[in-house]
């Protein structure tokens, strides 16, 4: 079962918002869409969607974890308020990308687990923030209406995030 559109939208909005928080002034998210072609998967099933930066930037491991796991964390927040009828599935491609990179850098299961917990704890804090979660929800709502949000409209939605001039 591929997740319902609202959950997919929350997932992609979570990536975009966290990319914006992590990227700061170094980069901007240029496009968020429910129609990506990057081959993501939920529970082994294909699922489309993307949140693209306007340029390649080098993230440290912790930043990479925040951005990569942001969609999963946003889904968890969403599912806490809207439990699914069936067993929820996870974005396996995001989880696999994080675990592969974390293992490559840390080389130890205990350290990967520790850093993973710290990343998820930080994401939970951000997504519980009253200035951040509403941006995720607004962006998700726009994605459901239009499938893709980009350019000035996307920047306007993200502008209210802390550190983006909308504080």
What fold, for 5-158?
A: Methane Monooxygenase Hydroxylase; Chain G, domain 1 (1.20.58)
Q: How many CB atoms lie within 10 A of CB 57?
A: 13
SS3 165: coil
CA 80/CA 84 separation, integer angstroms = 9
- Where do the domains of the chain lie? 5-158
Rg for the chain, CA atoms, rounded: 15
Please tell me the number of Cα atoms within 13 Å of 17 on its side-chain side. 30
The answer to whether the beta carbons of residues 94 and 40 sit under 8 Å apart is yes
pLDDT of residue 4: 81
The answer to whether the beta carbons of residues 22 and 66 sit under 8 Å apart is yes
Residue-wise pLDDT tens for the chain (167 aa)?
A: 446 888 889 999 999 999 899 887 677 788 888 876 544 433 333 344 455 544 455 578 898 899 999 999 999 999 888 776 666 666 778 888 889 989 999 999 999 999 999 999 999 999 999 999 999 999 999 999 999 998 899 999 999 898 765 44
pLDDT of residue 110: 94
SS3 30: strand
Q: Which residue has the tokens 């439990």?
A: 83
pLDDT of residue 42: 36
Q: What is the DSSP string of 45-92?
A: EE---EEEESS-----HHHHHHHHHHHHHHHHHHHHHS--SS----BH
């Amino acid at each position: 079962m591929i997740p319902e559109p609202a959950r997919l939208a929350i997932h992609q909005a979570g990536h975009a918002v966290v990319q914006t928080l992590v990227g700061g002034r170094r980069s901007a998210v240029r496009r968020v869409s429910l129609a990506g072609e990057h081959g993501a998967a939920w529970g082994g099933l294909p699922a489309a969607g993307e949140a693209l930066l306007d340029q390649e930037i080098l993230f440290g491991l912790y930043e990479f974890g925040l951005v990569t796991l942001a969609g999963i964390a946003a889904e968890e927040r969403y599912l806490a308020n809207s439990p699914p009828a069936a067993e929820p599935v996870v974005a396996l491609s995001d989880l696999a990308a994080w675990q592969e990179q974390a293992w490559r850098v840390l080389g130890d299961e205990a350290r990967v687990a520790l850093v993973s917990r710290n990343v998820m704890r930080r994401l939970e804090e951000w997504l519980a923030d009253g200035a951040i979660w509403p941006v995720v929800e607004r962006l998700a709502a726009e994605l459901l209406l239009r499938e893709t949000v980009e350019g000035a409209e996307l920047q306007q939605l993200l502008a209210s995030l802390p550190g983006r001039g909308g504080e």
